[in-house]
Chain A
Amino acid sequence: MDIGTLTALMFGSMIVLLLLGLPLAFVTGLIAIVFALVLFGEGGLQLIASRIYSFMNEYVLVSVPMFIMMASLMERSGVARDLFDAMRVWAGKLPGGLAIQTMVAATIMGAMTGIIGGEIVLLGLIALPQMLRLGYDQKLAIGTICAGGSLGTMIPPSIVLVIYGLTVNVPIGDLFTANIVPGLILSAMYMIYIFIRCQLDPKLGPPAPAHERDIALGQKIRMLRGLLLPMLVMASVLGTIYSGIASVTEAAGMGVVGTLIASAIRGDLTWKMVRQSADQTLRACGMLLWLSFGATAMIGVYNLAGGAAFVSALMTGLDVPPIAIILLMMLILVVLGCIMDWVGICLLTMPIFVPIVKQLGYDPVWFGVLFCLNMQISYLSPPFGPAAFYLKGVAPAGITLNQIFASLWPFILLQAAVLLLVLSFPQVALWLPSLN
Chain B
Amino acid sequence: MLEQKLQPIVSAIGAVACYFFLIVVAMIAYEVVSRYFFNAPTIWSHELSVMLCAAAFLLGGPYVHQHRSHIIISVAAERFSPLWRSRAQVLVSLLTLVFFIVLCIATFQQAADSISFMEQSGTALNWPIPVFIKTLFASVAAFMALQTLFHVIADFKRL
Q: A30-B95, A45-B105, A283-B63 are in contact. Are A69 and B50 (CB under 8 A)?
A: no
A271-304: which residues lie under 8 A (CB-CB) from chain B?
Answer: 274-275, 278-279, 281-283, 285-287, 289-291
Whether the pair B76, A290 counts as a contact (CB closer than 8 A) is no
Report how many residues on chain A are interfacial, defined by Cβ distance under 8 Å.
57
Interface: A83 (CB within 8 A)? no
Whether the pair A24, B72 counts as a contact (CB closer than 8 A) is yes
Interface of A is mostly: helix
Interface: B115 (CB within 8 A)? no
Partner of A21, one of B22, B49, B74: B74
Interface: A242 (CB within 8 A)? no
- Find the B residue at minimum CB distance from A48: B106
Which residues from B are CB-within-8-Å of A17?
Answer: 95
Q: How far is the CA of A65 from the CA of B17 in the complex (A)?
A: 12
Q: How far is the CA of A61 from the CA of B49 in the complex (A)?
A: 10
A117 → B minimal CB distance (Å): 12
Q: A62-B49, A240-B32, A250-B31 are in contact. Are A282 and B59 (CB under 8 A)?
A: yes
Bitwise, A56-83 to B at CB < 8 A (1) or not (0) is 1111011001100100000000000000
Which residues from A are CB-within-8-Å of B19?
Answer: 278
Q: A59-B50, A66-B25, A289-B57 are in contact. Are A18 and B73 (CB under 8 A)?
A: yes
Bitwise, A19-32 to B at CB < 8 A (1) or not (0) is 11111111001100
Whether the pair A285, B29 counts as a contact (CB closer than 8 A) is no
Report how many residues on chain B are interfacial, defined by Cβ distance under 8 Å.
58
Which residues from B are CB-within-8-Å of A245?
Answer: 32, 36
Q: A253-B25, A289-B57, A384-B75 are in contact. Are A24 and B70 (CB under 8 A)?
A: yes
Which residues from B are CB-within-8-Å of A22?
Answer: 72, 92, 95-96
Which residues from A are CB-within-8-Å of B158?
Answer: none
Q: How far is the CA of A341 from the CA of B72 in the complex (A)?
A: 9
Interface: A403 (CB within 8 A)? no
Whether the pair B50, A384 counts as a contact (CB closer than 8 A) is no
Interface: B53 (CB within 8 A)? yes
Whether the pair A285, B24 counts as a contact (CB closer than 8 A) is no
A316-365: which residues lie under 8 A (CB-CB) from chain B?
Answer: 339-341
What are 12 A-B interface contacts by the 8 Å CB criterion? Answer: A20-B91, A30-B95, A30-B99, A45-B105, A48-B106, A49-B109, A57-B133, A58-B50, A69-B21, A281-B21, A286-B61, A289-B57
B65 → A minimal CB distance (Å): 8
Interface: B60 (CB within 8 A)? yes
- Find the A residue at minimum CB distance from B137: A53
Interface: B54 (CB within 8 A)? yes
Whether the pair A253, B69 counts as a contact (CB closer than 8 A) is no
Whether the pair A249, B63 counts as a contact (CB closer than 8 A) is no
Instruction: Name the residue among B24, B103, B133 with the largest chain A CB count within 10 angstroms.
Output: B103
Query: 4 closest pairs, A vs B, by CB?
Result: A286-B60, A253-B28, A23-B70, A21-B77
Q: A30-B99, A282-B18 are in contact. Are A53 and B134 (CB under 8 A)?
A: yes
Interface: B1 (CB within 8 A)? no
Instruction: Name the residue among A21, A254, A384 with the largest chain B CB count within 10 angstroms.
Output: A21
Which residues from B are CB-within-8-Å of A20?
Answer: 76-77, 88, 91-92
Interface: B102 (CB within 8 A)? yes
Q: A24-B73, A69-B21, A253-B29 are in contact. Are A290 and B49 (CB under 8 A)?
A: no
Instruction: Name the residue among A49, A52, A58 with the largest chain B CB count within 10 angstroms.
Output: A49
Interface: A306 (CB within 8 A)? no
Q: A282-B18, A282-B56, A283-B63 are in contact. Are A291 and B28 (CB under 8 A)?
A: no
Instruction: Name the residue among A22, A245, A291 with the largest chain B CB count within 10 angstroms.
Output: A22
Q: How far is the CA of A406 from the CA of B57 in the complex (A)?
A: 36
Instruction: Name the residue among A30, A46, A62, A249 with the largest chain B CB count within 10 angstroms.
Output: A62
A1-59: which residues lie under 8 A (CB-CB) from chain B?
Answer: 17-26, 29-30, 33, 37, 45-46, 48-50, 52-53, 56-59
Interface: B89 (CB within 8 A)? yes
Partner of B106, one of A23, A45, A286: A45
Q: How far is the CA of A279 from the CA of B21 in the complex (A)?
A: 9
Which residues from A are CB-within-8-Å of B59?
Answer: 282, 286
Q: How far is the CA of A243 from the CA of B71 in the complex (A)?
A: 38
Whether the pair A250, B106 counts as a contact (CB closer than 8 A) is no
B107 → A minimal CB distance (Å): 5
Which residues from A are CB-within-8-Å of B21?
Answer: 65-66, 69, 278, 281-282
Bitwise, B66-85 to A at CB < 8 A (1) or not (0) is 00111111111100000000
Whether the pair B88, A21 counts as a contact (CB closer than 8 A) is yes
Which residues from A are CB-within-8-Å of B62?
Answer: 286
Whether the pair A286, B63 counts as a contact (CB closer than 8 A) is yes
Partner of B70, one of A65, A249, A290, A384: A290
